[in-house]
Structure 1
């Protein structure tokens, strides 16, 4: 199936764009006008190559590096790839791949240097060949062969009256995708902010609004909204079975995309996947949001700096995220969680990025997210910024919340649930080993002493295992605590750490960011005056009611 332009002008625009730099709209070096039968008649280039799909080692799951050596064995249905370490580690004459044993002798040593060449399509009118990507031709396997007419022949047929262009209303684009309350909210905010940014840029340059370039043709759509459930891993669930910990958490998975019409073609520039755990979801996931995937390509037009000094594409993408946080806050969600780590290769939303676009390091990605959050804080969309470790693993000041893994939000694909499951398995394995070695009592005494030294008082069964898990998990997360960003959309109680999404909260005007809920305020009033806020102080601060 080929993309049919709405008009001759659109067809010419597409042809001209194939000879431009896709990032900056500048003309590429000219090619010879002489006819080259081996070249694409649209872009005038011969072979287009693309990076092949990522390749992974079947036994260990590690990605095999580009141009790196590996071993491969092809069966009738499957291509089995094995990295060098796994091949060398395998003893004997066989290798286990997905539960099956294969002879090592059948594996051939190869190099991951293959290139994927773009396919071609032949015009049935002029018999010329074009790259499918240049022709906007999608080679879907239909039962009936799809006829293809190139853009040159399309223009000629329209001129001769042999073809009547479809009305503009018949050519569907990104704006024709279904609208939602979320997409409308983000779009409305984005267009308003872009207008203000363009006005500021015009003032800075001393020109009128119409004389400065603007980011036109943008469309935001929620292209997927699916009900899903994340199941709790068995060992973790076993640890908290006495607490009636949920076996699963239902959530709404949404995909939000940004499109821009560039040279007559709708281009997807930005995408994010989010997990929304609503009011019907059980604690600790209730009213939480997880930003699970975020990706973009550097194709936004115009490729200029915004009035704020940042790239215009950064300004646009930040506004989409802030608009989403604003929407979540209005709907009663209490917090948003972002794991700010660069995606693994092959783990992106987009298949690949432009060569000029470098992958952000953890530090740069974190700073990119924090810059967005600072903007949202100025607008009072975000009320507090912290991280997973500071909020759940340590107690400071007058916090009375229990340090327990059962309070950690349990998200699909997040870092800590998988690590915690491995740690619980390790703890159980240690206990089994102790029983076999008949040294369990001595080691249990050592473990209990370590927990007592850390300030834990409840050392019974599951409580002891929970404490050990939090201790191990905290040691793992602490070195990268800043990567686990926690955004507060509502105020959290400084005593019990619960979020106050409605009703009254109580604030101390003398202490910075001290708020408590109605329940904790009632408990505070029953204490003796010397035990009230602030703790460990002879004076008492008055708490004032604040309506949310």
Structure 2
């Protein structure tokens, strides 16, 4: 109506009038005086903000299949009602909006994502409908985000965690079962059996079907005696489980946010989540987050690497968030020589080699938040370790996510960390360093789980060139004598 105002305007005006006293004094987030003002939206408010989203979807020339309810009879898809339990389309969303059935904008978003998920579920990937659905979902996400943020929410997107890569127990544990692939599994009801201690054993389609006969041999360690299991005891499934991102409610206004968008953990803020809108509106002071990178224990190695990187950025005139580097773990371990290696190197009598493993991570402060962008796992075999591992370090894993800013300094910063580490261990008396220059296979992750979609995986040739460039820098700095 002409008399109605937008929800944010009315909310701010009313709260400014009713809770003016809260703005005068700062309120502690754990205080009993914390205001409680559940957000309410009128049908007119929601229509004002959300109807343009409907129109944007309708205006797209490819949206025709989504404009009206799916007619299984007319389209000759009798199985549609069996597969799709809760149909949704743009016209149904529009009618619900006009009738005032939506109470919050998130209910509108839920219906939109229900429509998209239905299309993705029923139609095979690569079909025209699947592609159109993906296009419309991107249009919707781009259009709804600024609207939801104006209304005090984080976004209007649907975030899911894809299922993790599973190991296949065939082919000597060298296979993996990626997301979306079919597999076979055996539920182990007796985990007390020797070399069969896990609850479930999984096989990819190829390994399972390649085994001739009615039985398959299974075991924890392929080098030990395997247990024969009838194939009839295996079940088939698709590795497509998805876990939705947790939603949390603001304890002041009840707005729902993605927990990952809010960066909220109950262990840090046990009083509950308070959204940014309420913190600003009611002058609420949250408890300081004590769990930040700079407050982690500082070691000599971390201190030197951190100084090296920040000195480099300062020398380059790079105005960026401070980089913090910490050794997150350091433990003494033993490398056991496997039987196959003993057979290959019969003259080496040592059965194990002691080493120290370290986990090194780098963080950059971006918009007031510590973001981990680089990780490295190393093994250090000191002078007391027997040959051939004496005075050697092994960089076993190295990984990054492309969040460091500005991006044109990323490679240089990674190189500075590596050269700094090599220089540090050199000063401790280590003589050799070994690096496994091999990029991950498709679907694999070395340290960071699920890299950004836009981050490209280098080929082995490009990765080797990347390391050679780093070693050339290290030689110029007299850290490395030579490499091969």
Normalising by the smaller structure, the TM-score range is 0.5 to 0.7
In structure 2, the residue matched to 1:129 is 256
Offset, 1:46: 3.9
In structure 2, the residue matched to 1:382 is 480
Equivalent-residue separation in structure 1 for 2:415 and 2:237 (angstroms): 43
In structure 2, the residue matched to 1:148 is 272
Q: Deviations over 1:359-416 (max 9, x none)?
A: 1111111111111000001111111112xxxxxxxxxxxxxxxxxxxxxxxxxxxxxx
In structure 1, the residue matched to 2:168 is 57
In structure 1, which of residues 206, 228, 235 is the aligned counterpart of residue 333 of structure 2? 228
Equivalent-residue separation in structure 2 for 1:357 and 1:152 (angstroms): 30
In structure 1, the residue matched to 2:308 is 189
Q: Which moved more, 1:98-107 or 1:372-381?
A: 98-107
Q: Secondary structure at the match of 1:190?
A: helix
Offset, 1:331: 1.4
In structure 2, the residue matched to 1:110 is 237
**Would the aligned equivalents of 2:162 and 2:179 in 1 still touch at CA under 8 Å?**
no
**Would the aligned equivalents of 2:153 and 2:255 in 1 still touch at CA under 8 Å?**
no
Q: Deviations over 1:148-187 (max 9, x none)?
A: 223246505852xxx54446xx634111111111111112
Equivalent-residue separation in structure 2 for 1:179 and 1:250 (angstroms): 25
In structure 1, which of residues 67, 70, 86 is the aligned counterpart of residue 180 of structure 2? 67
Q: Deviations over 1:257-297 (max 9, x none)?
A: 10011122111000111111111111211111111000000
Unaligned 5+ segments in structure 2 are 1-27, 30-140, 190-197, 220-225
Offset, 1:31: 2.2
In structure 2, which of residues 418, 421, 433 is the aligned counterpart of residue 336 of structure 1? 433
In structure 2, the residue matched to 1:214 is 319
In structure 2, which of residues 123, 147, 153 is the aligned counterpart of residue 42 of structure 1? 153
In structure 1, the residue matched to 2:354 is 250
Offset, 1:188: 1.9
Does residue 287 in structure 1 map to residue 391 in structure 2? Answer: yes
Offset, 1:32: 6.5
**Would the aligned equivalents of 1:41 and 1:129 in 2 still touch at CA under 8 Å?**
no
**Would the aligned equivalents of 2:154 and 2:262 in 1 still touch at CA under 8 Å?**
no
In structure 2, the residue matched to 1:83 is 204
**Inter-CA distance 367–40: structure 2 relative to 1 (3 Å threshold):** farther
Q: Deviations over 1:504-534 (max 9, x none)?
A: xxxxxxxxxxxxxxxxxxxxxxxxxxxxxxx
Q: Which moved more, 1:177-186 or 1:40-49?
A: 40-49
In structure 2, which of residues 464, 467, 470 is the aligned counterpart of residue 366 of structure 1? 464
Q: Deviations over 1:401-444 (max 9, x none)?
A: xxxxxxxxxxxxxxxxxxxxxxxxxxxxxxxxxxxxxxxxxxxx
In structure 2, the residue matched to 1:171 is 290
**Would the aligned equivalents of 1:223 and 1:257 in 2 still touch at CA under 8 Å?**
yes
**Inter-CA distance 249–32: structure 2 relative to 1 (3 Å threshold):** closer
CA-based RMSD of the aligned residues comes to 3.2
**Inter-CA distance 234–154: structure 2 relative to 1 (3 Å threshold):** same
Offset, 1:87: 1.9
Equivalences for 1:392-411 in 2 at 5 Å? Answer: none
**Would the aligned equivalents of 2:358 and 2:377 in 1 still touch at CA under 8 Å?**
yes
In structure 2, which of residues 429, 444, 452 is the aligned counterpart of residue 354 of structure 1? 452
Q: Which moved more, 1:358-367 or 1:185-194?
A: 185-194
Equivalent-residue separation in structure 1 for 2:145 and 2:320 (angstroms): 34
Offset, 1:189: 1.7
Q: Secondary structure at the match of 1:31?
A: helix
Offset, 1:108: 4.1
Q: Deviations over 1:476-516 (max 9, x none)?
A: xxxxxxxxxxxxxxxxxxxxxxxxxxxxxxxxxxxxxxxxx
Q: Secondary structure at the match of 1:385?
A: coil
In structure 1, the residue matched to 2:111 is none
Equivalences for 1:442-481 in 2 at 5 Å? Answer: none
Equivalent-residue separation in structure 2 for 1:223 and 1:275 (angstroms): 14
Q: Deviations over 1:23-62 (max 9, x none)?
A: xxxxx944277679xx996322242123321122223331
**Inter-CA distance 89–189: structure 2 relative to 1 (3 Å threshold):** same
Offset, 1:314: 0.3
Offset, 1:348: 0.9
Normalising by structure 1, what TM-score? 0.54
Equivalent-residue separation in structure 2 for 1:151 and 1:89 (angstroms): 54
